[in-house]
Amino acid sequence: MARAYALTTNPFDDDKLREECAVFGIHGTEDAAAHAALGLHALQHRGQEASGIVTYDGAEFRAHRALGQVGDVFGEQQVMDRLKGSAAIGHNRYSTTGDPMVRNTQPLFADFEFGGFAVAHNGNLTNAVQLRRELVHGGSIFQSTTDTEVIVHLLAQAKGGVTDRLTEALRRVEGAYSLVCLTRKKLIGVRDPLGVRPLVLGKLGDAHILASETCALDIIGAEKVRDVKAGEMIVIDDNGITSTFPFPPMKTRFCVFEYVYFSRPDSIVEGHSVYAARTAIGRELAAEHPIEADVIVPIPDSGVPSAIGYAEASGIPFQYGIIRNHYVGRTFIEPTDEIRNLGVKLKHNANREVIEGKRIVLIDDSIVRGTTSRKIVEMMRHAGATEVHMCIASPPTTHSCFYGVDTPERDKLLAARNTLEEMRALIGCDSLAFISMDGLYRAVGLPGRDPDSPQYCDACFSGDYPIRLTDQEQQGGKTSQLSLLREQAR
């Protein structure tokens, strides 16, 4: 008998790379919490399992954190009424392994001799296990299993004012991070020296905003000022904005997968329209892999812009041959084996009118395990497609990410253990093609990938990790960073 089973994310779709977090901060406006909640709502795609906001009202810090999506966590007026203050930071979280826990929900908060300090983090620290071990040996007591708490304990050991302490703490960490921090007087934003994860600066009247993407500015009517630069620390207080670069300069390596999938298509990241980049990827795909077909079909929603670009370049009509159920994010049915066998149909259904009797080209953003791709191909054949071809808007995903993206262990990645022909046979399509690395780079406005000095972080495709994987080196590189942290915390 099926029993009640509350879920905040779709348990039947684990065949995507998942961004782990979103951050938002605002300083200098009434109802800062309401603005933060709206911003987090716009950033829901970057984390769906937990959400939190911390505010400061001039006398005390106030916080609310809970498991669930933003509308569930902050949907009651009495919750928002308690979050008074003219400054706030917020966070959306996507848990990577194990059950989500309230104690891991950010922003984290601690009291220091200089006062309260709250921090929200997007990214992943690749030496967090090593640092945690050292800190525990020195007497630190951890309350969570997140790598972000390492920063809090390093801050406690550092000297000076809050910015000096934060700089000293971050000089000890390795990995990718975009942080927003809140003190009694300051809103602080920091990006790691390589700028792997995104962070933008915005303005709404006299208020200043920090957010993971520009779509969070759009929802509250704010304007983008600029991207926070790699290695930059921005301090916002009643006197305005101060910018410093406290770390040695490095060649930036922004995550190229933000253009492929992570960012919302209406966002502008690092000066590029995400939508324009994805349609350009589709055009590059059509040039690299022309296919004789009757219809171009996106796998919604992430495959839509690239499918539009492919259709424009190829002259083959674009059609919605797959209809997505947008309400599958929560379910009351326990995912038993029988229900799991329904698989992709809980989220996608074939539009037989478009598919039957046609040679189709499916466009998707990526292939991770390949399980969803196989089920969609089966669905297309069942709907009467005479040929099913697949074109993928990214190179083959051959390596795990350790910089803030939930990725399976490498031996579970389809492209890590199979040739192109083997992947095609396993998925069951008539042909399978991926955009080249150079094609991906051309789509974002570059002549191609410089193999001696790549312009982006593309480690999930190339295995070229720009930041040292200290914990992985010590543990043999067999599991995710947060799994290592959980093991360390037991």
How would you write the pLDDT of the chain (490 residues) with one tens digit per residue? 333 323 333 444 457 776 669 999 999 999 999 999 999 999 999 999 999 999 999 999 999 999 999 999 999 999 999 999 999 999 999 864 334 578 899 999 999 999 999 999 999 999 999 999 999 999 999 999 899 999 999 999 999 999 999 999 999 999 999 999 999 999 999 999 999 999 999 999 999 999 999 999 999 999 999 999 999 999 999 999 999 999 999 999 999 999 999 999 999 999 999 999 999 999 999 999 999 999 999 999 999 999 999 999 999 999 999 998 877 654 444 455 555 556 667 788 999 999 999 999 999 999 999 999 999 999 999 999 999 999 999 999 999 999 988 888 899 999 999 999 999 999 999 999 999 999 999 999 999 999 999 999 999 999 999 999 999 998 766 555 555 555 555 4
Residue 142 counted as domain residue: yes
Is residue 212 assigned to a domain?
yes
pLDDT at 413: 96
- The pLDDT assigned to 484 comes to 57
**Alpha carbon distance 123, 460 (integer Å):** 15
Residues flagged as binding site for Mg(2+): 302, 364-365
Specify the amino acid at residue 237: D
Token pair in block for residue 453: 């000095």
Residues marked as binding for [4Fe-4S] cluster?
255, 401, 457, 460
CA separation, residue 467 to residues 196, 198, 200, 339, 401 (Å): 10, 16, 22, 41, 11
Task: List the Cα angle 17/22/23 in 5-degree steps.
Answer: 160
Query: According to DSSP H, which parts of 61-147 are helical?
Result: 70-73, 77-82, 128-137
Give 247-253 contacts, CB < 8 A, sequence gap 24+.
Answer: 247/167, 247/170, 247/171, 247/193, 248/193, 249/193, 250/193, 250/194, 251/194, 251/453, 252/194, 252/195, 252/455, 253/194, 253/195, 253/196, 253/454, 253/455, 253/456, 253/457, 253/466
* Structural domain ending residue among the three candidates 253, 286, 314: 253
- Please give the backbone phi and psi of residue 244, each rounded to the nearest 5 degrees, phi first: -135, 160
As to burial, measured by CB atoms within 10 angstroms (0-12 exposed, 13-18 middle, 19+ buried), residue 341 is exposed
Q: Work out the burial of residue 312: count CB atoms within 10 Å of its CB; fewer than 13 is exposed, 13-18 middle, 19 or more buried.
A: middle
Q: Are 144 and 108 a contacting pair, CB within 8 Å? A: yes
* Annotation: binding site: 255, 302, 364-365, 401, 457, 460
- Is position 351 within any domain? yes
Asked whether residue 487 is assigned to any structural domain, the reply reads no
Query: Is the same domain home to 410 and 286?
Result: yes
pTM above 0.95, yes or no: no
Residue 433's CATH number: 3.40.50.2020
Q: Are residues 277 and 315 in the same domain?
A: yes
Report the alpha-carbon angle 284-321-323, nearest 5: 110
Is 8 inside a domain boundary? Answer: no
The reply to whether 280 and 248 lie within a common domain is no
Residue 262 covered by a domain? no
How far apart CA 447 and CA 81 sit, in angstroms, is: 52
Nearest to 307 by CA among 326, 280, 267, 325: 280
Same domain, 245 and 279: no
Q: Note if 429 is an active site residue.
A: no
Whole-number pLDDT of residue 326: 77
Verify that 295 and 398 share a domain, yes or no. Answer: yes
Shared domain for 153 and 31, answered yes or no, is yes
In a shared domain, residues 188 and 145? yes
Same domain (yes/no): 95, 232: yes
Burial class (CB in 10 A: 0-12, 13-18, 19+), 11: middle
Q: Select from 197, 221, 253 the last residue of a domain.
A: 253
Domain boundary among 253, 287, 314: 253
Residue 186 sits in the same domain as residue 286? no
The CA-atom distances, in angstroms, between 324 and each of 12, 86, 107 are: 14, 40, 33
Count structural domains, the chain.
Answer: 2
My answer on whether 129 and 241 are in the same domain is yes
Task: Identify the pLDDT of residue 102.
Answer: 85
- Residues 48, 197 within the same domain: yes
Do 314 and 432 lie in one domain? The reply is yes
Catalytic residue among 21, 215, 391, 429: 21
pLDDT, residue 7, reads 32
Range(s) of the domain holding residue 314: 272-450
CATH of the domain at 98: 3.60.20.10
Phi, psi (rounded to 5 degrees) for 109: -135, 140
HSE, side-chain direction, 13 A CA sphere, residue 405: 26
Report the 10 Å Cβ neighbour count for 334: 13
Is 419 inside a domain boundary?
A: yes
Q: Is residue 221 part of a domain?
A: yes
* For residue 301, cis peptide bond before it (omega within 30 degrees of 0): yes
Beta pairing partners, 233? 190, 244
